[in-house]
Amino acid sequence: MISLSRRRAGRPSGMLVRLAPVLIAAALVGLPWFAQAAEPPSPPPTESGPAGGDLQVEIKNKGLGKEVSIKKGDREWFMMIEVTADNTVVVRQEKDHETFLVDESENHDRAMTPAEVDAAIEAFINSVKTRAKRK
């Protein structure tokens, strides 16, 4: 067993005393970087423009989720993902003139992550592009 003299037992070592200001400064300098890295970059609130051919795609942020509206002539496709802390609601619609061809929704018992929301929106857009090219 190593025993310390009374004189050293209550005092920090010289090395620790010299490093303490450096460690504190490094932590303070790193905090803004850490806080910035912890927050994911937010996408632009609205993206719109031609997504291929004559499709008009408009994406909007909606709280923690998103919604996308795609138009081609008289046809319209719509998807909304609404995310709360407890669940996620996904709504899909397809309309030709004023007639709904698809009008469905699904509920999930958990909140989707932003990456999952983006992936679902991207998959929806790609499926509409593929179906629109066939017709």
Percentage above 70 pLDDT, the chain: 60
Q: What is the pLDDT of residue 17?
A: 53
Q: Are 81 and 117 in contact (CB under 8 A)?
A: yes
pLDDT tens sequence across 55-99? 899 999 999 999 999 999 999 999 999 999 999 999 999 999 999
CB atoms within 10 A of CB 93: 16
Most confident of 23-32, 42-51, 108-117, 124-133: 108-117
Percentage above 90 pLDDT, the chain: 55
> How many residues does the structure list for the chain?
135
Q: What is the pLDDT of residue 51?
A: 45
More confident residue, 29 or 105: 105
Q: Evaluate if residue 116 carries a pLDDT over 90.
A: yes
Q: Is the pTM of this model over 0.95?
A: no
Phi, psi of 17 (to 5 degrees): -65, -40
